[in-house]
């Protein structure tokens, strides 16, 4: 796109800036729309599993429910507690929301269709997802209230714990793909056994795919790991003191994170924009549709789990993260690197 | 042009947030300014073309170390007057450190401007076609493998030391035996009894 604007007579830097800004808008606005629709989908799936109807009043089948909610929240008054640290209180939801959108910069939607095709793409995603905790921690501290503070402490411990095992899981994928670039990681998943696309079909990486899915739920603080907003203990956790648009930003950021984690699942383990089967006619379907189908599938899994699995206790959460996922993922790093050493890189010397 | 603007943006933010780290009175604000300084330093690294170092800086320092800092500082109950009382007594020592750092910076700039540093004389000449990660990995796992492992051992010793220092055996703690919990069945925990009227339940 830079070349197109250069053709219109702009200097290179201006063209680059303009095309990057357009690229950001082209990614962010659909993500926002997707968040609105996926909140609706989440509520519908959850309702169906509880034998309820879910939102069905606003618009056909209740499709416009999220927009009605957004409008309602937009018109509400922003209440800031008098004892709160005002600046940090207002910055916290902005951080959550911004960070949730930032990571989309490196997500490949198609060969070459990516905002920033950088060779440290996966590290960038790790870096950005590690920033996500600040929104929660700051909101908890700035609210100057007990429940949000507990929630902030829980969130920081939980996210750090699961980032460790996520890091190891990502290393197994990187070892197999031989690159940190997300497009190359997707391309490296072509044609397992000659016909399947996706690291998940590899017996060495399949357990990692499952563990990544579970860690992703913990990392985004979704049920059954939603201890940061456990309503029976902490009212609403770090969101307790928030109202109006500040609350909505948390809500949107959380769901944008969930979609991102679903997209990462699809990209790292299930072939991203590649069709699941390496069969020529399937490549006529645009890659972006395969990616979206996979994202929606994983989102369905997320909702399904939310509707059916009871919440973990905090000590169980920590045990799962440190005593089960960490050793297992470390073991698989050894296993995968050993296997690659023996096969791909010509044996031990 | 964009490079220059980005450089000055990042540089000004690093310096000013570094200054605010030590100037702000609330320790939580200090940590937050420190995080901003790390973040902008990462931006400077990217401008230098060291994208791997930049990402590591964000992942390790912003994502882990600073979170732990914040975690600790948030829970402190700090008396600000007491905190500022030591300022005068620490001043000479602080000035000494500042002088040493200033001397190092001047030396560094002096050496840099003394002449071009030959690429071949560097400790590990790098192949310009490799990406940063491959170049660092290649050096770290071949030429500096023993130093790398030594660093690992140092970290391991530090970790063991921390555990030894803080771990104490406490009596009377009821631990969770997960296997035992999972083996438990309803018939182990619940029984139906036909309790005669007028008698207490025997538990």
Tens-binned pLDDT, residue by residue, of chain A (349 aa): 666 666 676 777 778 888 888 888 888 888 888 888 888 888 888 888 888 888 888 878 878 888 888 888 888 888 888 877 788 888 888 888 888 888 888 888 877 777 777 888 888 888 888 888 888 888 888 888 888 888 888 888 888 888 888 889 988 988 888 888 888 888 888 777 777 777 778 888 888 889 999 988 888 888 788 877 777 777 777 777 787 888 888 888 888 888 988 988 888 888 888 887 777 777 777 878 888 888 999 999 999 998 888 888 888 888 888 888 999 999 999 998 888 888 877 765 5
CA atoms within 13 A of residue B133's CA, in its CB half-sphere: 17
Contact A160 B64 (CB under 8 A): yes
pLDDT band at B83 (very low <50, low <70, confident <90, very high): low
Q: How many beta-carbon contacts under 8 Å exist across A and B?
A: 69
Chain B residues near residue A157 by CB distance under 8 angstroms: 71
* Residues ≥6 apart with Cβ < 8 Å to A207: A328, A332
Chain A residues near residue B67 by CB distance under 8 angstroms: 130, 133-134, 137, 156, 159-160
A243 alpha-carbon distance from chain centroid: 24
Token output for A45:
């799936």
pLDDT band at B182 (very low <50, low <70, confident <90, very high): confident
Token output for A319:
């045990």
Position with higher pLDDT, A290 vs B74: A290
Average pLDDT over residues B68-83: 71
* B64 interfacial to chain A (CB closer than 8 Å): yes
**pLDDT reported for residue A183:** 85
Nearest by Cα to A252 from A97, A147, A45: A97
Q: Contact at 8 Å (CB) between B43 and B84?
A: no
Locate the chain B residue with the closest alpha carbon to A15: B2
**pLDDT reported for residue B3:** 81
* Phi, psi dihedrals of residue A205, rounded to the nearest 5°: -105, -15
How far is the CA of A138 from the CAs of A241, B41, B166, in angstroms? 13, 22, 28
| A-interface mutation test, from B35, B51, B63, B142, most A Cβ less than 10 A away | B63
Contact A130 B64 (CB under 8 A): yes
Position with higher pLDDT, B113 vs A53: A53
Query: What gap in Å lies between CA A247 and CA A211, rounded to an integer?
Result: 31
Average pLDDT over residues B166-186: 82
How many angstroms separate the CA of residue A21 from the nearest CA in chain B? 14
* Phi, psi dihedrals of residue A116, rounded to the nearest 5°: -130, 105
Task: Give long-range contacts, CB 8 A cutoff, 24+ apart: A144-149.
Answer: A144/A81, A144/A83, A144/A84, A144/A85, A145/A81, A145/A83, A145/A84, A145/A240, A145/A241, A147/A234, A147/A235, A147/A236, A147/A237, A147/A240, A148/A234, A148/A237, A148/A238, A148/A239, A148/A240, A148/A241, A149/B74
Chain A residues near residue B176 by CB distance under 8 angstroms: 315, 319
Locate the chain B residue with the closest alpha carbon to A127: B59
Query: What gap in Å lies between CA B179 and CA B165, rounded to an integer?
Result: 30
**pLDDT reported for residue B13:** 92
Tell me which residue has tokens 């051992």.
B153
Locate the chain B residue with the closest alpha carbon to A88: B29
Instruction: List pLDDT tens digits, range B136-162.
Output: 888 888 888 899 999 999 999 999 999
* A86 interfacial to chain B (CB closer than 8 Å): no
CA atoms within 13 A of residue B5's CA, in its CB half-sphere: 4
Query: What gap in Å lies between CA A222 and CA B156, rounded to an integer?
Result: 33
How many angstroms separate the CA of residue B184 from the nearest CA in chain A? 17
Chain B residues near residue A127 by CB distance under 8 angstroms: 55, 58-59, 62-63
* A141 interfacial to chain B (CB closer than 8 Å): yes
In order, the DSSP letters of B50-95 are -HHHHHHIIIIIIIIIHHHHHHHHHH----HHHHHHTHHHHHHHHH
Helix/strand/coil for A302:
helix
Query: What gap in Å lies between CA B1 and CA A42, rounded to an integer?
Result: 46
Token output for B150:
């030594």
Tell me which residue has tokens 């109807």.
A53
Bond before A224 cis per omega within 30 degrees: yes
Contact A17 B2 (CB under 8 A): yes
In order, the DSSP letters of A170-227 are HHHHHHHHT-S-HHHHHHTTS-BTTTB-SGGGSTTTHHHHHHHHHHHHHHTT-TTS-G
Query: What gap in Å lies between CA A222 and CA A220, rounded to an integer?
Result: 5
Query: What gap in Å lies between CA B53 and CA B74, rounded to an integer?
Result: 29
User: Sign of the C-alpha dihedral, residues A299, A303, A309, A314?
Assistant: positive
**pLDDT reported for residue B116:** 58
Contact B62 A152 (CB under 8 A): no
Contact B55 A149 (CB under 8 A): no
Q: How far apart are the first and last CA of chain B?
A: 82
Contact A130 B28 (CB under 8 A): no
* B99 interfacial to chain A (CB closer than 8 Å): no
Locate the chain A residue with the closest alpha carbon to B71: A153
Contact B67 A156 (CB under 8 A): yes
Whole-structure pTM value: 0.82
In order, the DSSP letters of A204-219 are TTHHHHHHHHHHHHHH
């Amino acid at each position: 796109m830079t070349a197109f604007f250069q053709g219109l007579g702009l200097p290179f830097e201006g063209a680059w800036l303009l095309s990057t800004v357009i690229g950001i808008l082209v990614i962010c606005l659909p993500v926002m729309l997707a968040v609105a629709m996926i909140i609706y989908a989440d509520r519908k799936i959850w309702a169906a599993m509880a034998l309820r109807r879910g939102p069905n009043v606003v618009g056909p089948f209740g499709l416009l429910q999220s927009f009605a909610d957004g409008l309602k929240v937009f018109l509400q008054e922003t209440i800031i507690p008098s004892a709160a640290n005002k600046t940090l209180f207002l910055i916290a939801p902005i951080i959550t929301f911004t960070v949730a959108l930032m990571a989309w910069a490196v997500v490949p939607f198609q060969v070459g269709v990516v905002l920033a095709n950088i060779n440290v793409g996966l590290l960038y995603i790790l870096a950005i997802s590690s920033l996500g905790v600040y929104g929660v921690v700051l909101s908890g501290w700035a609210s100057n209230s007990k429940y949000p503070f507990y929630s902030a402490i829980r969130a920081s411990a939980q996210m750090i714990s699961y980032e460790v095992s996520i890091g190891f899981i990502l290393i197994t994928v990187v070892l197999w793909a031989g690159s940190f670039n997300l497009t190359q990681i997707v391309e490296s998943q072509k044609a397992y056994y000659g016909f399947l696309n996706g690291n998940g079909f590899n017996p060495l990486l399949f357990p990692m795919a499952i563990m990544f899915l579970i860690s992703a739920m913990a990392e985004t603080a979704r049920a059954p790991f939603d201890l940061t907003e456990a309503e029976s203990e902490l009212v609403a956790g770090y969101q307790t003191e928030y109202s109006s648009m500040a609350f909505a930003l948390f809500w949107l950021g959380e769901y944008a994170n969930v979609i991102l984690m679903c997209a990462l699942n699809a990209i790292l383990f299930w072939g991203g924009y590649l069709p699941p089967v390496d069969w020529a006619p399937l490549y006529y379907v645009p890659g972006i549709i395969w990616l979206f189908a996979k994202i929606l599938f994983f989102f369905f899994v997320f909702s399904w789990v939310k509707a059916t699995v009871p919440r973990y206790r905090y000590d169980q959460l920590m045990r799962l993260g440190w005593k089960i996922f960490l050793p297992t993922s470390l073991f698989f790093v050894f296993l995968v690197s050993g296997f690659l050493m023996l096969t791909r890189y010509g044996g031990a010397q | 042009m964009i490079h220059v603007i980005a450089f000055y943006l990042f540089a000004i933010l690093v310096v000013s947030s570094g200054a605010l780290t030590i100037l702000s009175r609330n320790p939580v604000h200090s940590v937050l300014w420190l995080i901003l300084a790390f973040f902008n330093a990462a931006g400077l690294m990217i401008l230098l073309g060291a994208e791997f170092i930049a990402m590591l800086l964000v992942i390790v320092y912003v994502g882990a170390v600073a979170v732990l800092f914040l975690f600790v500082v948030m829970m402190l109950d700090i008396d600000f007057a007491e905190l500022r009382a030591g300022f005068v007594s620490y001043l000479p020592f602080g000035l000494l450190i500042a002088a040493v750092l200033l001397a190092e910076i001047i030396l560094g700039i002096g050496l840099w401007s003394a002449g071009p540093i030959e690429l071949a004389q560097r400790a590990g000449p790098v192949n310009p076609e490799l990406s940063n990660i491959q170049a660092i990995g290649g050096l770290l796992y071949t030429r500096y493998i023993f130093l790398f492992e030594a660093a690992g051992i140092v970290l391991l010793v530090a970790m063991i030391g921390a555990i030894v220092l803080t771990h104490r055996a406490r009596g009377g703690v009821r631990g969770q035996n997960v296997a035992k919990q999972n083996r438990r069945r309803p018939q182990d925990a619940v029984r139906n009894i036909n309790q005669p009227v007028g008698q207490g339940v025997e538990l």
